[in-house]
A and B are shown apart, each in its own frame.
Chain A
Amino acid sequence: MTDVVRTGFRPSRVAIYGVLLLAALVYLIPLFIMLVTSFKTPMDIRTGNLMALPTDWTTIGWTKAWSEACTGVDCNGISGYFWNSFKMTVPAVLISTLLGAFNGYVLSKWKFKGSDLFFGMLLFGCFVPFQVVLLPMAATLGQLGLANTTTGLVLVHVIYGVAFTTLFFRNYYVAIPDALIKAARLDGAGFFTIFFRILLPMSTPIFMVSLIWQFTQIWNDFLFGVVFASGDSQPITVALNNLVNTSTGVKEYNVDMAAAMIAALPTLVVYIVAGKYFIRGLTAGSVKG
């Protein structure tokens, strides 16, 4: 090992780092273009180079996107929809994650007759295409009186997400030795005490995985948002689409880019804050969590 470290500067090393750097750059270019464009003036965009830095740095694109841009007929920016997305995503993420944790606990530690079959069938939920459930879901939401509401969207995302979160937690809990559960039972702990006092405190890594996964999925969802929400309850992804497609005169790329950045920021922040747990949680099985 030490040999490899000492002879660090070799052509093969340079090649490896070169390729990695290039790949990183390729992935960063769209983000870079979005960022610089969002800070440019419309004039600058029309005359300047796509990759060039703004000649005049301005935040007008951002403020306009936030509070003045037109999404369809009303022109109040995307701020309202940004909060819509939060109101939908936070409860949907928390509820689906908690349900998944509980499901995973039962499916790994309190197996019942047919529980493996049950789990197998639940996994199908991960592969059901969104389009397939649109009509039945619309009918169901209508009957529940939840059509076009944020609550309805939360319900849709919880149902859709539980398959994934159950998979995450079940696989995480399967690796935890059964002796721990037995010891707790002998100590007098019951079904819920074991879950809340023993297993949940051990679940931080997989919790983070589930949080990031669900947050990204639900925040970025467009299809359910456009189908099951309308007007004031629409999430930001739908609003962004409306904003970009609303053409009144000149196309304001700086506003479009700023709006897109605003829409993407929360998932970026979540990943940066909890990312280290994400990697740790995904590899938990191999390194022992």
Chain B
Amino acid sequence: MSQLELRGIRKTYPGAAEETLKGIDIDIASGEFLILVGPSGCGKSTLMNTIAGLESITDGAIVLNGADIAGMEPKDRDIAMVFQSYALYPTMSVRENIAFGLKIRGLPKQEIDQEVERVADLLQISQLLNKKPANLSGGQQQRVAMGRALARRPRIYLFDEPLSNLDAKLRVEMRTEIKKLHQRLKTTIVYVTHDQIEAMTLADRIAVLKDGELQQLGTPKEVYDRPENLFVAGFMGSPAMSFVPVTVEQGDNGLEAEVRGNDGRAIRLPVPEFLADRVGREVILGIRPEHITQPQDQKNDQTLVAKGEFTIEVTEPTGPDVIALIQLNDTNVHCRIDPEHPVEWGETAELMFDMKKVVFFDPETEKRIAPH
């Protein structure tokens, strides 16, 4: 059980003009599964390497169970890492791979054997122990890499995009496996990925990074439902949230915003009361595909719901849903439609807007406008 605090982590590479990490503060509770997510080049891997001790920090503190480990060598930090490429030692058997760290730490042979057995049972790789990594499939190598990390019973586990090299089906399987493992072992995990679905499904909390800055830190639900800014909103969710510029107006039954389809027809969407001080000004409406659906009878009487007819430009059936593309105020907007309610491209369809969960952003600051 280990608790990790990152305090004002800054990192500038020698000779680089800009900071790679611009003061990251994250507290990771004992047993927590924290995911660092962001586009490539956001600094998430650098942050992970600094935790591991593979790279130094320019400023800040890395506090593990109350002690600052920032100046320590990787081997003294008692942290294990699973790499994207697995980084298995090619000349050693699976058993030797798992045992390597234990051997170096000078554990007695009997204890090492026990530990290898335990880990192999846990990950169901007992039958692979005498094989060389080159003779294993990608999924098996992945398991061995996790086994090597687990064997040492380190204080913190770091996962650096561990599933990126697997094919789609295996990735989903291993995702579930990792989640199960975490629920069983209650270990503290920091996990880097650029895959926002992995982040949503695995994390206790997600830290979204961009350009070396922490954009938002919160539970998957918080990050998804209440993104702090346009970047987080656009990054989390697939298909992504659509951003429609609208003007807040005072209507007869409360605040409204007009959206116009590409055929010129417009409807007025009800917007929440906390936008009252922005009447007459432009805001950015952030709307997720699932907020625009086929008409649903049970929602007819609810507040903050509107209906209108729009021309469907593209349909993308995914199986459980059909993703349809429409235009609102000259921006592309995705809608998530029940496949039992067929829509065809080029035709008009009646769509229902559920405005209860939409979010609004200030066009200047790009920050979410919070309810008072």
Residues of A within 8 A of B (CB): 177, 179-180, 182-190, 193, 197-198, 201-202
Q: Are A187 and B87 in contact, with the CB atoms below 8 A?
A: no
Q: Contacting A184 at CB < 8 Å: which of B73, B89, B105?
A: B89
The 10 A-B residue pairs with the shortest CB-CB distance, nearest first, are A187-B101, A179-B87, A201-B91, A188-B75, A183-B87, A188-B104, A179-B83, A185-B74, A180-B87, A179-B85
Q: Are B89 and A186 in contact, with the CB atoms below 8 A?
A: no
Q: Contacting A182 at CB < 8 Å: which of B73, B83, B92, B105?
A: B83
Residues of B within 8 A of A (CB): 49, 52-54, 73-75, 79-81, 83-85, 87-92, 100-101, 104-105, 148, 152
How far is A141 from B157 in the complex, measured between Cα atoms in Å?
56
Q: Are B148 and A182 in contact, with the CB atoms below 8 A?
A: no
CB-CB under 8 A for A198 and B104, given A179-B83, A186-B74 = no
Q: Are B105 and A188 in contact, with the CB atoms below 8 A?
A: yes
Q: Which B residues touch A187, using CB under 8 A?
A: 75, 100-101, 104, 148, 152
How far is A44 from B159 in the complex, measured between Cα atoms in Å?
78
How far is A180 from B54 in the complex, measured between Cα atoms in Å?
12
How far is A182 from B81 in the complex, measured between Cα atoms in Å?
9
How far is A190 from B91 in the complex, measured between Cα atoms in Å?
18
Q: Contacting B91 at CB < 8 Å: which of A182, A185, A189, A202?
A: A202
Q: Which B residues touch A177, using CB under 8 A?
A: 85, 87
How far is A212 from B215 in the complex, measured between Cα atoms in Å?
57
Q: How far is the CB of B153 from chain A (nearest CB, A)?
A: 13
CB-CB under 8 A for A186 and B79, given A179-B85, A198-B89, A201-B91 = yes
How far is A177 from B145 in the complex, measured between Cα atoms in Å?
15
How far is A184 from B90 in the complex, measured between Cα atoms in Å?
12
Chain A interface helix/strand/loop/mixed: helix
- Cross-chain pairs A/B with CB under 8 angstroms, 25 sampled: A177-B87, A179-B83, A180-B87, A182-B54, A182-B74, A182-B83, A182-B87, A183-B83, A183-B148, A184-B89, A185-B74, A186-B52, A186-B54, A186-B74, A186-B101, A187-B75, A187-B101, A187-B104, A187-B148, A187-B152, A189-B75, A189-B104, A190-B75, A198-B91, A202-B91
Q: Which A residues touch B83, using CB under 8 A?
A: 179, 182-183
Q: How far is the CB of A185 from chain B (nearest CB, A)?
A: 5
How far is A179 from B80 in the complex, measured between Cα atoms in Å?
13
Q: Which A residues touch B91, using CB under 8 A?
A: 198, 201-202
Q: How far is the CB of B13 from chain A (nearest CB, A)?
A: 13
Q: Which A residues touch B104, using CB under 8 A?
A: 187-189, 193
Q: How far is the CB of B71 from chain A (nearest CB, A)?
A: 15
Q: How far is the CB of A191 from chain B (nearest CB, A)?
A: 11
Q: Are A182 and B75 in contact, with the CB atoms below 8 A?
A: no
Q: Are A180 and B89 in contact, with the CB atoms below 8 A?
A: yes
How far is A188 from B49 in the complex, measured between Cα atoms in Å?
15
Q: Which A residues touch B101, using CB under 8 A?
A: 186-188
Other than the known A182-B52, A186-B79, what 4 A-B pairs have Cβ atoms closer than 8 Å? A182-B83, A185-B74, A201-B92, A202-B90
Q: How far is the CB of B248 from chain A (nearest CB, A)?
A: 51
How far is A187 from B106 in the complex, measured between Cα atoms in Å?
12
Q: Which B residues touch A183, using CB under 8 A?
A: 81, 83, 87-89, 148
Q: Which B residues touch A190, using CB under 8 A?
A: 75
How far is A220 from B217 in the complex, measured between Cα atoms in Å?
68
Q: Which B residues touch A182, using CB under 8 A?
A: 49, 52, 54, 74, 81, 83, 87
How far is A190 from B74 in the complex, measured between Cα atoms in Å?
10
CB-CB under 8 A for A185 and B84, given A202-B90, A202-B91 = no
Q: Which B residues touch A188, using CB under 8 A?
A: 75, 101, 104-105
How far is A193 from B100 in the complex, measured between Cα atoms in Å?
11
Q: How far is the CB of A181 from chain B (nearest CB, A)?
A: 9
- Closest A residue by C-beta to B85: A179
Q: How far is the CB of A77 from chain B (nearest CB, A)?
A: 45
Q: Which A residues touch B87, using CB under 8 A?
A: 177, 179-180, 182-183
Q: How far is the CB of B54 from chain A (nearest CB, A)?
A: 5
Q: Which A residues touch B49, using CB under 8 A?
A: 182
Q: Which A residues touch B100, using CB under 8 A?
A: 184, 187, 189, 197
- A182, A187, A197 pick with most chain B CB within 10 angstroms: A187
- Closest A residue by C-beta to B14: A113
How far is A187 from B89 in the complex, measured between Cα atoms in Å?
11
Q: How far is the CB of A200 from chain B (nearest CB, A)?
A: 9
- Closest B residue by C-beta to A189: B104
- Closest B residue by C-beta to A185: B74
Q: Which A residues touch B79, using CB under 8 A?
A: 186
- A183, A190, A197, A202 pick with most chain B CB within 10 angstroms: A183
Q: Which B residues touch A189, using CB under 8 A?
A: 75, 100, 104
